[in-house]
Amino acid sequence: MNFSARTSLRFAAQLDVAIVGAGIVGAACALECVESGLSCCLIEPDVVGGGATAAGMGHIVVMDDSEAQFQLTQYSASLWHELAPRLPADCEYLPCGTLWVAADAEEMEEVHRKQAFYRERGVRASVLDEQQLAGAEPNLRRGLAGGLLVPDDFAVYAPCVARYLVEAAGATGRLQFVAKRTRSLADGAVTFEDGEALTAGVVVNATGAAARHFVPGLDIQPRKGHLLITDRYPGFVQHQIIELGYLKSAHSISSDSVAFNVQPRRTGQILIGSSRQYGVEDPMIDGAMLARMLRRAIEYMPELSTCSGIRAWTGFRAATPDKLPMIGMAPGYSRVYIASGHEGLGITTALGTAKLLVDRILKRHSAIPAEPYRVDRSMVAHG
């Protein structure tokens, strides 16, 4: 990296922004801050992009759960399309599209609903029948009803993107990096585990699933997920393929679930997901959950049973009750902002999050309405 970690916390001038956490969200916020002329300090005791960002699939996907989710994912995807030509090769940009798979007639109805939703909002999407689906992905099992191809979605290797964003921010000369673990946050102040502290105009809590530890009452819960990556099988899978049942899995906010979700990697490897578990904070691999996830994948793609898995891991999504991230001022504070709660879409929405966050800090107009992501929305809703 072309920026150096600070050993002393004396800065030449008052810092505008101190960002805690250098996952993809903190990294994107840091770049947006310095590109907007703010001086910024990024605080991360571990590897940049080494948290949920390294555990995720890196699927950049426009979603339609709600109008607010659509707006943030579409806005972010447009920012990703601008960024993509600048990304170094190790970010593994792969324009694979998304293929949503319908198992039966009921899910085919969902394919048509989804296509209409996307089309009305200018997102390209085409319906595939059974034969077209088999032609697009010959390793899917026969007898599936069809699918929806969304060609402009893509995949990246997110930890390298996070590193690239931090390097790009460092190159402006307005970013400082502090390799310390944060103990607590207050208005315009960060205190570290070693007792040292720094002050800044505002503080941003971008610590992902850990965000609730620094701001009391923040309704963000860890949601555990497993992934497995195989050896190299170039051409085995062409698209990011997801069963439409995934939506049921992602919607459940209390029970454990698995869904078929595979991604081709530039290396020829296949990334297989995914699981969702609530109320578990142990990062160890849960053998039963991993087996359940792989059985689901093999149901959809029987030949996967002949592929060698070389590594499995877990990560924690930062889940909110309404499945939307929290972007803005923390309730009860005047100089602490939150950028967390992105659940399974934080890689997709990191760039839009950074824009909305810095818009809030600088009191700028935003390209999309920021209200749905207000941190105090549950309090607003409950009067």
Ligand X SMILES: Cc1cc2nc3c(=O)[nH]c(=O)nc-3n(C[C@H](O)[C@H](O)[C@H](O)COP(=O)(O)OP(=O)(O)OC[C@H]3O[C@@H](n4cnc5c(N)ncnc54)[C@H](O)[C@@H]3O)c2cc1C
The residues that touch ligand X, with contacts defined as CB under 6 A, are: 20-26, 43-46, 50-53, 55-59, 181-182, 206-208, 210, 225, 227, 273-274, 315, 317, 340, 342, 344-348
Tell me the helices (H) and strands (E) count for the chain, helix number first: 10, 19
Specify the residue, 18 or 145, whose C-beta has the smaller distance to ligand X. Answer: 18
Tokens 């069809």, residue located: 146
CB of 76 to ligand X, least distance (A): 9
CB of 143 to ligand X, least distance (A): 27
CB of 9 to ligand X, least distance (A): 14
CB of 358 to ligand X, least distance (A): 16
Tokens of 355: 């824009």
Question: Do the Cβ atoms of 198 and 190 come closer than 8 Å?
Answer: yes
CB of 194 to ligand X, least distance (A): 12
Q: Which strand (E) or helix (H) includes residue 314?
A: strand 309-319
Q: How far apart are CA 18 and CA 199, in angstroms?
A: 8
CB of 5 to ligand X, least distance (A): 13
Question: Do the Cβ atoms of 359 and 365 come closer than 8 Å?
Answer: yes
CB of 131 to ligand X, least distance (A): 28
Strand order in the sheet with 240-243: 126-129, 146-150, 98-102, 240-243, 257-264, 269-278, 221-232, 309-319
Specify the residue, 24 or 103, whose C-beta has the smaller distance to ligand X. Answer: 24
Kind of pairing, strands 197-205 and 336-340?
Answer: parallel
Question: Do the Cβ atoms of 211 and 185 come closer than 8 Å?
Answer: no
Q: How far apart are CA 18 and CA 188, in angstroms?
A: 8
CB of 367 to ligand X, least distance (A): 19
Specify the residue, 50 or 127, whose C-beta has the smaller distance to ligand X. Answer: 50
Q: How far apart are CA 368 and CA 125, in angstroms?
A: 22
Specify the residue, 44 or 146, whose C-beta has the smaller distance to ligand X. Answer: 44
What secondary structure does DSSP assign to 176-206, as a single string? Answer: EEE---EEEEETTEEEETTS-EEEEEEEEE-
